Structure 1
Amino acid sequence: MTEAAVARVREDDLQRFVAASLVAVGVDDEAARIVADVLVAADRRGIESHGVARLRWFYVDRIRNGRIVPRPTYTRVRETPTSLLLDAGNGLGHPASHHAMSATIAKARERGIAFAAVRNSNHYGIAGYYAMMALPHDMIGICSTDSAHFAVPTFGRTKMQGTNPFAFAVPAGDEPPFVLDFATTTVTYGKLEVYERKGLQLKPGWAVDADGNPIGDPAARHTGALLPLGGFGTENGGHKG
Structure 2
Amino acid sequence: MLRVDAERLNRIFCCELMSIGLSISDSTILVSNLIETSLSGIDTHGIRLLPTYISEFKQGGANISPVFRFENELLSSAILDADGANGVIAGNAATDKAIEMARKTGIGMVLTKNSNHFGAASSFTKQAANQRLIAISLSNSDALVALEGGTRPFLGTNPIAMTVPGLGDDCFELDFATSQISYSKVKYYLQNGIDLPQNWCVDENGSDSSTSQLYAALKALGGYKGQGIGLMVQVLTSVMSGMPYDHQLTHLYTPPFDKPRQISHWIICFNPEIFIRYEEFQSRVSELISEARINTPSVILPGDKEKASREERLANGIPIDDKDYDWVNELINKYE
When normalised by structure 2's length, the TM-score is 0.63
Amino acid at match of 2:184: G
Map 1:168-183 → 2, pairs under 5 A:
168-174=162-168, 176-183=170-177
Please identify the structure whose Cα radius of gyration is greater: 2
Unaligned runs of 5+ in 1: 1-5, 231-237
Decide which moves more: 6-15 or 119-128: 6-15
Q: Are residues 1:167 and 2:152 paired?
A: no
| Between 12-21 and 45-54, the greater mean CA deviation after superposition | 12-21
Which runs of structure 2 are paired with 1:198-237 in the superposition (5 Å)?
200-218=194-212, 220=214, 224-230=216-222
Higher mean C-alpha deviation, range 202-211 or range 122-131:
202-211
Whether the aligned pair in 2 keeps the contact of 1:153 and 1:160 (CA below 8 Å) is: yes
Residue correspondences, number: 226
- CA 1:216 to 1:29, structure 2 compared with 1: closer, same or farther past 3 Å? farther
Mark the runs of 5 or more structure 2 residues left unpaired by the alignment: 227-336
- Matching residue of 2:139: 145
More helix by share: 2
1:48 aligns with 2:43: yes
Q: 1:12 aligns with which of 7, 16, 23?
A: 7
Counterparts of 1:1-241 in structure 2 under 5 Å? Answer: 6-56=1-51, 58-174=52-168, 176-196=170-190, 200-218=194-212, 220=214, 224-230=216-222, 238-241=223-226
Normalised by the size of structure 1, how large is the TM-score?
0.86
CA distance in 1, matches of 2:107, 2:199: 39
1:219 offset after TM fit, Å? 5.1
Distance across 1 between alignment mates of 2:149 and 2:44: 26
- For residues 149 and 39 of structure 1, the distance between their equivalents in structure 2, rounded to whole angstroms, comes to 23
How far is the alpha carbon of 1:192 from its aligned partner? 2.4
SS of residue in 2 equivalent to 1:94: helix
Shift in Å, 1:21: 2.6
Work out the CA distance in 1 between the residues paired with 2:122 and 2:192.
25
Give the C-alpha shift of residue 199 in structure 1: 5.8
Cα displacement (A) at 1:201:
4.1
What is the Cα deviation at residue 141 of structure 1? Answer: 1.1
Question: 1:131-150: CA deviations, max 9, x gaps?
Answer: 11111221101101111111
RMSD: 1.9
Quote how far apart the aligned CAs of 1:83 are. 1.0
Q: Give the aligned residue type for 1:214.
A: D
Corresponding letter in the other structure for 1:209: D
Q: What percentage of aligned pairs have identical amino acids?
A: 31
Higher relative contact order (CA 8 A, sep 6+): 2
Q: Secondary structure at the match of 1:142?
A: strand
